[in-house]
Amino acid sequence: MREQNFCFPEQQRACLTITPSLYDRRALDCTAPLPLLTSLMHLSLMTSTSQRVREALSVDGGLERLTHILETTSRSDNRDRRSAWRWILAYHCLVNVGVRSSEHIRARVERSGGVRVIIPWAANLVTTRLRRATNPAHSPASMDEDDAQDAATVASTVRRQQEFAAAAAAAATAVFTANEPPFREEDILLALQLLAYLSKHPRIRDRLHVDYPVNVFTLVERFCARHHSNTIQLWAGVVMRNGCRKDDTRGGLRRCAYLHCGHWETTPHEFAKCRRCRKAKYCSKQCQSRAWSDGHRYWCVARQSTAAGATGMMAMATAATTVTATIATTMTAATNTAT
């Protein structure tokens, strides 16, 4: 039986901590705030540089411990500033492991709750916006400013959005809605980055479609809307396009890209592609028009020329650099808090 790594000041026993050169899983069980913060700070650096540490976390229960910290720690720094830092650093550790690892470790990140901790706040953000959009006090035109749709299409879109809002609201647990500060832009960006890497793999992608209270792609699609920043739209678009990839484990078949349909092709190339982006495939015209009004119009990008593709890649690289810089800034600030 492993000894609990509590702090015993009366007995003059030191806590275990993770240092820049030593990873010890037991340090994550520490209940004293300051040593745990120091450990998470060093672990955040280690997960960005060491494949061995990322592998160790995937087999020693470290990922489960990180998701537990995320689910039980308040992001509010009203009472305890260290609590907010603890959340941010544990979040960075989890995202680092998911983004920089191979498929089997990414599957472990998803299984250990890496997506489960993202869904409530994403659903919460989406629900807040949808409540405003589907409120009868607002005119249908205010729902999406840039689309001229006929009345019947608007009515059916509003009805589907209300159903979706109800499902999203059910996914937004009380823990995350009660007195928690809104998510920062960089937190959303990191979540979308994590989902972009996880959704590359067919098995994980399947789970994102069906294993959560709400289809994860329906949440991500909301972040493609134009009121979000360009970087958020960019990463949300990557996740959505990953969702349309063919599944090589099923002989190259694809799922209907209308997220509330989910029919699979029975033979390769059975479904028709969206002519504009040539990524999304639909089992019927009806699915295509519903998907368009639900949100495909936001991430449907005309197939790019080589030059435009290179520009897109540069934009992605810039976005990734921004996220790395954000993490570096966070680390510096956390160091100041911990010392």
List of residues contacting Zn ion (CB under 5 A): 256, 258, 261, 263, 274, 276-277, 280, 283, 287, 300
**Across the strands, what pairs with 282?**
272
CB of 330 to Zn ion, least distance (A): 36
Nearer to Zn ion, 183 or 271 (CB): 271
**Across the strands, what pairs with 253?**
247
- CA atoms of 221 and 236, how far apart (whole Å): 7
How far are the Cα atoms of 120, 121, 237, 300 from residue 129, in angstroms, in the given order? 14, 12, 19, 22
CB of 281 to Zn ion, least distance (A): 9
Nearer to Zn ion, 40 or 287 (CB): 287
Q: Confirm if 109 and 101 have CB atoms less than 8 A apart.
A: yes
Nearer to Zn ion, 194 or 259 (CB): 259
Q: Confirm if 216 and 191 have CB atoms less than 8 A apart.
A: no
CB of 273 to Zn ion, least distance (A): 8
CB of 248 to Zn ion, least distance (A): 21
CB of 145 to Zn ion, least distance (A): 21
Nearer to Zn ion, 23 or 258 (CB): 258
Give the Cβ contact number of residue 248 at 10 Å.
9
Q: Confirm if 227 and 211 have CB atoms less than 8 A apart.
A: no
- φ/ψ of residue 22, rounded to 5: -135, 120
CB of 304 to Zn ion, least distance (A): 13
CB of 241 to Zn ion, least distance (A): 10
- CA atoms of 141 and 126, how far apart (whole Å): 18
Residue 192: which residues within 8 A CB-CB, separation 6 or more?
220, 223, 232, 235, 236, 238, 239
Nearer to Zn ion, 121 or 271 (CB): 271
CB of 237 to Zn ion, least distance (A): 11
Can you give the length of the chain in residues? Answer: 339
Nearer to Zn ion, 225 or 261 (CB): 261
Nearer to Zn ion, 74 or 199 (CB): 199
User: Radius of gyration of the chain from Cα atoms?
Assistant: 22
Q: Confirm if 47 and 63 have CB atoms less than 8 A apart.
A: no
CB of 283 to Zn ion, least distance (A): 4
Half-sphere exposure of 257 (CA within 13 A, CB side): 31
Nearer to Zn ion, 105 or 256 (CB): 256
- CA atoms of 149 and 79, how far apart (whole Å): 48
How far are the Cα atoms of 24, 26, 49, 249, 252 from residue 57, in angstroms, in the given order? 10, 11, 13, 27, 33
Nearer to Zn ion, 235 or 258 (CB): 258
